[in-house]
Chain A
Amino acid sequence: MRRIWTAMRNTPSLLAGTLMLVLMVGVALLAPLISSFSPTEPNMGAILLPPSSEHWLGTDQLGRDLFTRLIYAARTDLKIMVLAQIIPFCTGILLGMMAGYYGKWVNTLITLLTDTFIAFPFYLIVIIVAFVSGAGEKGIYITFMLVGWIVYARVVKGLSASYRSQEWIASAQTLGLPNRTILLRHLLPNVLPQAVIVLMTDMAVLLVAIVTLGYLGIGIAPPTPDWGTMISEGQPFLATKWWLSATPGLAVVYTGIALSLVGDGLADVWRRK
């Protein structure tokens, strides 16, 4: 705990990023306390109101308080952003370590898999999954389970390959430690930091992808509030009520900055070690 605190104090970008994230998560969690409006219930008597003291950011086309939707959307988007990364993060690291550590045919096979996915038009996968599973959260989870691991696998593979030639691995092997132990006990702690740094960037990339799905019309299904759908719903009013689509857009940018700062900060901390 103390170590974390020292690290934070010495790395302002980590501190700033973490604070930004904590603030956003806090607001998301406390959404019902912060706002008394419903994020989903239409209110036909209050359609497209401009910002006022009652509705800080005005209301949307169905008369819902925009600020309320914005903070409830943080719940949706942050949740998906984190959950959708779990499986690809794990499989990516595992496959990457295996490819790098074992080399030979394991590497060839995993590289073939990686290359295939890279050569596969990205949006073809996205759209196919969205079409098969219907628009919404489920599709996003499946898509990122399919393609999200590649980034980690590539990074971890390179690292693992470079560690393999190092002495401590060789000595562990001569000591007769089983491969599984070497992989999980010794190699994993060494590749994890780098993977976590990538995770930070990739969460932001995922968030942008969710928003882009909203633009392509295959985003989160209504009435769940989500920044992507909010941006595209506000688009027709860009000339008259720009805040409808600009504020959710800024929320995405804000999250991107926070994650990027944390990532840079972590990189600094680990580099110093």
Chain B
Amino acid sequence: MTLTSNSVFHKIIRSTATIASPRRWLVRALLRAASVIVCVVTAVFFLIRLVPGDPVKMILGEYATAAAIEKMQHKLGLDLTPWEQFLRFLNNLLVHGDTGSSIVYEASSRQLIFDRIPVTLLLIAMACILSIVISMVLAILAATHKNGILDHLIRILPAVTLGMPVFWVGLLLILIFSVHLGWFPVGGVTGKGFEKTLYSLTLPAITVAFSQIPSLVRSLRAQMLEVLESDFVVTLKAAGIPRRVVLVKHVLRNSALPALMLLGVNMAYMMGGTLVVEKAFGLRGIGSLLFQSISNRDFPVIQGIAFYSALFVVIVGLLVEIIAGVLDPRTKGES
């Protein structure tokens, strides 16, 4: 779901990031963001109620009596019509900023989500940094050794990784680096403190990065070649400026933007896709909470996760547009 052909991608980014009048743009962007969130929240609310299965039976199990089930349903307000439930939910969200109390855990769903958000965000952040660093190195190597063996190897990367499921990569890494070599914990976040957390998240972050790097390298390499062959760089070289300086200061800087934006857009997918990585590595993040909550039909938690992750995606989207508008001189305001 995440890969689009890059040249096209850049066109899209350029065509969407248009800043004519900043204030008008901001109002529009915020309006758009708000309507996206409203759509997501509404859709999720009604969709999850289409799914067969009853949270009460998930709590009480197969041996629960009908009377016990009814009592619990009433207590949880699940005997109301979906519309009444929806109004209640909206009221809760707008007035108290809360997404309701978890059915299974009998705790505030917001609290549950906020407890788990740090792991997921940290994972995404680490994966992003790793992806950027590794992609840059690979792209520089590829671009400077154009058509050499190295370049070919690096260009093959996307083709090979395209067919590798994330959980497969994760499982392999666990077997090699955790079970066999014992370098990293098998799963979960072990130990307290930021350092330990980072250490525990290393393998999962590599796994996520693994799925991001190919498209980033592709984009960066193409972009760098373009810049490398541009008159501007040729002039710099002719002026006798050292190769390394040209490469890092001018080429990289000028070609990094599209890749960064690609990453920005992919972060939306990462937010929804960490589920698989979290499951494979036994992490307690938003993804695993989502999976559990769907299995348990814990409606308030699902709604909460949908709300907050939509919020996250929308904010990242706005930032990407702003960065694109501010940084990219090629982006000219049209409408």
Contact = CB atoms under 8 A, between A and B. Distances in A.
Direct contact of A and B (CB under 8 A): yes
Interface of A: 108, 111-112, 115-116, 118-124, 127-128, 131-132, 147, 150-151, 154-155, 157-159, 161-162, 194, 197-198, 201-202, 204-205, 207-209, 211-212, 215-216, 231, 235, 238, 249, 252-257, 259-261, 264, 267
B162 A120 contact: no
A118 B8 contact: no
A158 B159 contact: no
Nearest to B280: A215
Given A124-B302, A128-B48, 10 more contacts: A112-B39, A116-B43, A119-B37, A119-B310, A123-B272, A124-B305, A128-B294, A155-B9, A212-B167, A261-B159
B50 A124 contact: no
26 contacts: A115-B36, A116-B36, A116-B39, A116-B40, A119-B37, A119-B40, A123-B291, A124-B44, A124-B290, A131-B51, A132-B50, A147-B1, A155-B4, A155-B9, A158-B8, A158-B12, A158-B15, A197-B5, A204-B163, A205-B3, A212-B165, A252-B164, A252-B165, A253-B160, A253-B163, A255-B163
Contacts of B168: 211, 231, 249
A212 B165 CA distance: 7
Contact of B290 (A123, A201, A260): A123
A216 B164 contact: no
Contacts of B1: 122, 147, 150-151, 202, 205, 209
Contacts, number: 161
B52 interface: yes
Interface of B: 1-5, 8-9, 11-12, 15-16, 32, 35-37, 39-40, 43-44, 47-48, 50-53, 158-168, 171, 175, 268-269, 271-273, 275-276, 279, 287, 290-291, 294, 302, 305-306, 309-310, 313-314, 317
Contact of B175 (A154, A238, A261): A238
A89 to B, nearest CB: 14
A256 to B, nearest CB: 2
Given A123-B291, A127-B291, A255-B163, A194 B15 contact: no
Contact of B313 (A119, A204, A209): A119
B164 A267 contact: no
Which one of B3, B4, B162, B309 has the greatest number of beta carbons of chain A within 10 Å?
B162
Contacts of A155: 4-5, 8-9, 12
A124 B306 contact: yes
A194 B8 contact: yes
A162 B167 contact: no
Contacts of B271: 121
Which one of B1, B11, B44, B309 has the greatest number of beta carbons of chain A within 10 Å? B1
Contact of B3 (A124, A150, A157, A201): A201
B32 A115 contact: yes
Given A121-B309, A122-B1, A155-B12, A132 B51 contact: yes
A128 B51 contact: yes
Nearest to A159: B8
A208 B163 contact: yes
Contacts of B306: 120-121, 124
Contact of B2 (A205, A211, A257, A267): A205
Contacts of A131: 51-53, 294
Contacts of B39: 112, 116
Contacts of A249: 165, 168
A127 B168 CA distance: 19
A256 B157 CA distance: 11
Contacts of A238: 171, 175
Given A119-B268, A123-B272, A257-B160, A215 B165 contact: yes
Contacts of B294: 124, 127-128, 131
B151 to A, nearest CB: 14
Contacts of B167: 212, 215
B78 to A, nearest CB: 18
Contacts of B273: 122-123
Nearest to B270: A122
Contacts of B302: 124
Contacts of A197: 5
Nearest to B47: A128
Given A116-B43, A131-B51, A159-B8, A216 B313 contact: no
Contacts of B276: 123, 212, 215-216
A249 B2 CA distance: 20
B15 A161 contact: yes
A255 B269 CA distance: 23
Contact of B44 (A115, A120, A122, A208): A120
* Residue among B165, B309, B313 facing the most chain A CB atoms (10 A cut-off): B165
B59 to A, nearest CB: 18
A28 B50 CA distance: 37
B313 A256 contact: no
B317 A115 contact: yes
B272 A122 contact: yes
A3 B198 CA distance: 55
A208 B168 CA distance: 10
A213 to B, nearest CB: 10
A7 B236 CA distance: 39
Contacts of A202: 1, 3
